[in-house]
Structure 1
Amino acid sequence: MGRKRKSREEQTEATPASSSKQPKTNEGEEASSQSQSNQPRNNFEPYPASKVYRLIEPGPVLLVSTGSLADSTHNLMTIGFHMVMQHESPPLIGISLGPWDASFATLKKQRECVLAVPSVEMAGVVVDIGNCSADDDEVAEAGGKWQRFGLEALPAAKVKAPLVGGGDIIANIECVIEDTKMVSKYSMWVLKPVKAWINPNKKPGEGGKMFHHRGDGTFVVDGEILDLKDRMVKWQEYQD
């Protein structure tokens, strides 16, 4: 038989008082160390680590289309957290979409979606789409986000979710789920593009300007293009 575990009171009585003492913190040294850590480094000054996402926000704001156009269960949401995870064999895209989003359950069930890239002319509408949920009463009364914001749903080629139509959409990317290992811990879905569409009148750099969320309610719009293809000697296979 195993030994009986001592109660908390018994452990306390059996432990010498001296062993329970913790070394005193030298408040002066701690304050000095904290002060030194906040000292500027040449031309750099401290920045809150909790807000570093504002410094490295990835790509443009996107719209995520889920559900099925055929049975009118299609929904739409806005995301700003995403990234390219692999260039080829196959290309992979990671998006952050959690259970707090109404689209989460649909994406989990159907395992496919469409990523739409809106141009800056749609910035206000895209933000408004992100400010409401399909579960909101006013959205439901309007017949869904598509109807409320007057957006056109077009049939996709390889997935059930619709493409986002309209002259201010730069592109649509039809995707299927490639990997869900990081969903439970990080709400990160790995998607594999299976079909893509481009608006010839809104190609990036040729009339189409994407906008990027800075993480604090402000946005940056695409500007001047810097062409350094001649210097990218190690990455020529990714150039047109």
Structure 2
Amino acid sequence: MKNLPLGKVYQLLEPGPVVLLTTARKGRANVMTMSWHMMMEFEPPLVACVVSGNDYSFEALAATRECVIAIPAVKLARKVVQVGNSSGRDIDKFKAFGLTPLSAQQVKAPLIAECFANLECKVADKRLVNRYNLFILEVLQAWIDPAQKNPKTIHHQGYGKFAVDGRTMTLKSKMR
């Protein structure tokens, strides 16, 4: 065994696909790239996510208590990285990166037309926000684009490296 720097531990425990989180505040929509999230409950679906207090989206999410988690397929990888490497303080990321905002039904934050799935969310619990920037979101409405067949997601491995969803398998367990 060899010592691994603690700053690289997150590369071993990557929580899931890279997603886009949209917010809307004071008539202005924004989108950020996010990879620190996890499922917490099946029904109602609860998702925990970390949004840095330095991110422009943090203030909007904290104030409005709602967002959309949009799940992009691998074909959007370059745009996802561009979104993540820019700030909504400086530019309109929807226009700059050719993303199409769509009206959501239950929140003001927009869906993203190019993504294969969109989850309308409200903040269900903010108790860990001040300490860890951790929001607990309840999914209110879920959308899927049936035209995008078998989409492959991207998974951040750190320092500009990504893995693409690969082969799947189904294992059946024996019930006793």
Equivalent in the alignment of 2:88 = 134
The total of aligned residue pairs comes to 176
**Structure 1 residue 153 and structure 2 residue 101: aligned?**
yes
Task: Determine which of 110, 131, 141 is the counterpart of 1:162.
Answer: 110
| TM-score normalised over the length of structure 2 | 0.94
Give the aligned residue type for 1:49. L
The structural deviation recorded for 1:215 is: 2.0
The structural deviation recorded for 1:232 is: 7.2
Task: Determine which of 10, 15, 39 is the counterpart of 1:84.
Answer: 39
Give the aligned residue type for 2:9. V
The structural deviation recorded for 1:150 is: 1.5
Give the Cα separation in 2 of the matches to 1:171 and 1:76.
15
SS at match of 1:74: strand
**Structure 1 residue 120 and structure 2 residue 74: aligned?**
yes
SS at match of 2:116: strand
Equivalent in the alignment of 1:47 = 4
The structural deviation recorded for 1:47 is: 2.2
Equivalent in the alignment of 1:56 = 13
Task: Determine which of 125, 131, 150 is the counterpart of 1:179.
Answer: 125
The structural deviation recorded for 1:99 is: 1.5
Whether the 8 Å CA contact 1:54–1:216 is kept in 2: the answer is: no
Pairing 1:66-77 to 2, within 5 Å after superposition: 66-67=23-24, 72-77=27-32
SS at match of 1:67: strand
Give the Cα separation in 1 of the matches to 2:27 and 2:75.
27
The structural deviation recorded for 1:217 is: 1.5
SS at match of 2:28: coil
The structural deviation recorded for 1:49 is: 2.9
Unaligned runs of at least 5 residues, structure 1 = 1-39, 235-240
Higher radius of gyration, 1 or 2 = 1
Task: State, as a whole percentage, how many aligned pairs show the same letter.
Answer: 41
Give the Cα separation in 2 of the matches to 1:190 and 1:201.
30
Whether the 8 Å CA contact 1:82–1:96 is kept in 2: the answer is: yes
Normalized per residue, which structure has more strand? 2
Equivalent in the alignment of 1:36 = none
1:141-170 C-alpha deviation (Å, 9 max, x unpaired): xxx11111121110101001110012xx11
Judged with a 3 Å threshold, the aligned counterparts in structure 2 of structure 1 residues 49 and 208 are, in CA distance, closer, same or farther, namely same
The structural deviation recorded for 1:95 is: 0.8
**Structure 1 residue 98 and structure 2 residue 41: aligned?**
no
Give the aligned residue type for 2:7. S
Q: Which runs of 4+ in 1 moved over 4 A?
A: none
Normalized per residue, which structure has more helix? 1
The structural deviation recorded for 1:233 is: 4.8
